[in-house]
Amino acid sequence: EVQLVESGGGLVQPGGSLRLSCAASGFTFSSYDMHWVRQATGKGLEWVSAIGTAGDTYYPGSVKGRFTISRENAKNSLYLQMNSLRAEDTAVYYCARTKTSSTGEFDYWGQGTLVTVSS
């Protein structure tokens, strides 16, 4: 059974940093592109970052230069390092797996971890 379990969320002050983790199981982690998607309370979904099987990374303009996605295949783990956090980064952060290695539809999602940026 495919499982994705996020951790590392919490309360952080504006300008602070946080590192999210996503533990994957039930599939060959190294063979799949992985993503982070976030959702502010009562709002829609926003794609945050992606990492390919070769380690290539992608970000939208809203987080580029502040967030860094990485993976550790030996540990079946995905990470999101978030620096210079802003109030607008407050959201539930989901890790998600793409259905195939060459497309971007998400067939499995974690349960999410809440990040709150507030003083």
User: Is residue 104 near another protein by the rule CB under 8 A?
Assistant: yes
Contacts of 78 (CB under 8 A, 6+ apart): 21, 22, 24, 34, 36, 51, 69, 70, 71, 95
Q: How many chain residues bind another protein (CB under 8 A)?
A: 21
111 belongs to the binding site for another protein (CB under 8 A): yes
Widest distance between CA atoms in the chain: 41
Nearest approach in angstroms of CB 74 to another protein is 26
In the complex, the residues that contact another protein under the rule CB under 8 A are: 35, 44-47, 50, 58-61, 94, 99, 103-107, 109-112
